[in-house]
Amino acid sequence: MPPVTAGPELRVALVQHASGLDPEENRRLLAGLTPDGADLVVFPEAFARDFGEAGSDVGAYAESLDGPFATEVGRVAAERGTTMVAGMFEAGEDPGRPFNTLVLRGAAEASYRKVHLYDSFGYRESDRLAPGPTGPAVVVEVGGFRVGLMTCYDLRFPEMARALVDGGAELLVVPSAWVAGPRKVDHWRTLVRARAIENTVFVAAAGQPGPRYTGHSMIVDPLGDVLVEAGEGPSVVTATLRLADLAAARKTNPSLANRRL
């Protein structure tokens, strides 16, 4: 696809960095890791506090949407003149089972509670966390782009991405803590590209690094080309997205318009 420069552009940065078990230290990391010059900065899932050992009780680390972590995300976003997305545990009605929540602060303010909990590959996320509501899709405007939010395991459910696109999303943002293991990098790369191709949207997927998680944070364009991809270790990767490129991709491949089901 030839480059097209007309229309809105969005510079996206993915921060591939591990969160630790100390929430205060994780909050301090936000300012230091946020790069200058990005319109949208995406941190991984559970950045406010890591999950800990599999099956750990994370209820004691749950916060409100105006608590210390979300407040610091908003402060850093305002200070840097950007929009930020990061994952946290949000207190709910059941203190033993908080929500796995994304907070977005900056050009817009939104939150998304993870719908599909990671009850797979030997894990039981639902034992310690509550699922979010199945609708409506969370889509907000950032820099002239309609941005849809989903989290990690949601990536394995194509109907989730399609609901966001039907809600107007032109960029899917996927903060993750994709657990390492056999085939996991291949699954991650395949699914990120598949969600972009089948929906003709940009996908920006930010993961925590190895060795516990897979890393390989990546930004993919609406025809499935990988614009940038990290390795396994800590890093920050960036790409500039052009809304005109999305329009050109949908002209080349009008699969959304051609749907019959």
pLDDT in tens, 132-178: 999 999 999 999 999 999 999 999 999 999 999 999 999 999 999 99
Q: Is residue 144 part of a domain?
A: yes
Catalytic-role residue among 90, 125, 152, 170: 152
Pairing of strands 40-42, 83-90: parallel
Percentage of the chain modeled with pLDDT above 90? 94
Host domain of residue 46: 9-252
- Residue 232 catalytic? no
- Tell me what pLDDT residue 127 has: 95
Catalytic residue among 45, 63, 125, 170: 45
Whole-prediction pTM? 0.96
Residue 150 belongs to some domain of the structure: yes
Q: Which residues contact 111 (CB under 8 A, 6 or more apart)?
A: 65, 70, 90, 101, 102, 103, 104, 138
Q: Is residue 257 part of a domain?
A: no
Does the pLDDT value for residue 3 go beyond 80? Answer: no
Annotation marks residue 45 as catalytic: yes
Distance CA 56, CA 160 (A): 27
Among residues 114, 125, 170, 229, the one annotated as catalytic is 114
pLDDT at 7 over 90: no
| Residue 6 pLDDT class (50, 70, 90 cuts) | low
Mean pLDDT of 228-238: 98
Nearest Cα residue to 191 out of 178, 182, 180, 181 = 178
Number of domains in the chain: 1
Residue 4 lies in a domain: no
Residue with tokens 């850093």: 76
The answer to whether position 176 is within a domain reads yes
pLDDT confidence of residue 54: 87
Residue 39 pLDDT exceeds 90 = yes
Q: How confident is the model over 52-80, as pLDDT tens digits? A: 998 899 999 999 999 999 999 999 999 99
Q: In this structure, is residue 3 part of a structural domain?
A: no
Q: In the predicted model, what is the mean pLDDT of residues 240-255?
A: 98
Res. 95 pLDDT band, cuts 50 70 90: confident
What pLDDT, on a 0 to 100 scale, did the predictor assign at position 242? 98
Q: Rounded mean pLDDT of 9-28? A: 98
- Percent of the chain's residues with pLDDT above 70: 98
Q: Which CATH number do you get for residue 189?
A: 3.60.110.10
* Domain contains 200: yes
Tell me: the pLDDT tens digits for 169-225?
999 999 999 999 999 999 999 999 999 999 999 999 999 999 999 999 999 999 999
Q: Can 63 be counted among the known catalytic residues?
A: no
Rounded to the nearest integer, the mean pLDDT of the chain is 96
Is the pLDDT confidence value at 2 over 60? no
Q: How far apart are CA 247 and CA 250, in angstroms?
A: 5
In a domain, 2, yes or no: no
Q: Is the pLDDT of residue 1 over 70?
A: no
